[in-house]
Amino acid sequence: MKIAIIGAGNMGGAICRGLMHGEEALQVVVSNRSMGKLEALKADYPTLEVTTDNKAAAQGADMVILAVKPWLMESVLKEIQLQESQVLVSVAAGISFEQLAAYTGWQHQTMFRLIPNTAISHLQSMTIIASQNATKEQEALMLSLFNQMGMALMVPESKMAACTSLTSCGIAYVLKYIQAAMQAGVELGLYPHEAQEMVAQSVLGAATLVLKNQQHPAIEIDKVCTPGGLTIKGINQLEHDGFTSAVINAMKASMK
């Protein structure tokens, strides 16, 4: 299977690295306007095909992944002139299937909207996928490809904005928590690198508890909060300072 990735920026490069790490035997070609990012990818993956010609990259590909900015989507699609038989995968947030079909001129083309997060480069993405005109087999293939890079979930297009807020934007909010906790650690006398390792591993542990135990986070919190203990004091302080409201407001702001 030949996959073309148009755009080697943060997300396109991350998807490329994820695909190259995956178990599937794929022929991957990446295009980008400048060579710098392509050369970096090629150095890590010698079998990767790279080019600055978007149309050449897309030609003959079974699947074309467009990892370009939303305002470039129309011009790039007109440039590469996809065939209706090619599967189009858009990574541009906010561009609907209706808009994509208008750009390509194909009403029955198989399309996917894909929202990974940057952890895809380390095979730890939460990837959201919506489909149009896709068979169950095509949907299963997409889930198979991106489950190799973390976790993938197929959702209706109507839920894409909410899911994007929680996953693609949400990873930045988790990183912001890590940064804030590190700052607290430094104030408490730890070196930054010590605080970073401690907090990052604690976040990984918390996520693992939720995913493995399949329990509400509140249950795991209760296990830590002994009566009159240190943790419940901190939890209550977070609530007094509006932690929960701040997170909810950030997620809602990401949808505006």
The pTM (predicted TM-score) of the whole model is 0.89
Tens digits of pLDDT across the chain (256 residues) = 899 999 998 889 988 988 887 766 789 999 998 899 999 999 999 989 999 999 999 999 999 999 999 999 999 999 999 999 999 999 998 899 999 999 999 999 999 999 999 888 788 999 999 999 999 999 999 999 999 889 999 999 999 999 999 999 999 999 999 999 999 999 999 999 999 999 999 999 999 999 999 999 999 999 999 999 999 999 999 999 999 999 999 999 998 7
| Contact residues for 93 (Cβ-Cβ < 8 A; gap 6+) | 70, 115, 160, 164, 168
Domains contained in the chain, CATH given: 2-156 (3.40.50.720), 170-253 (1.10.3730.10)
Separation between Cα atoms, residue 37 and residue 50, nearest integer Å? 10
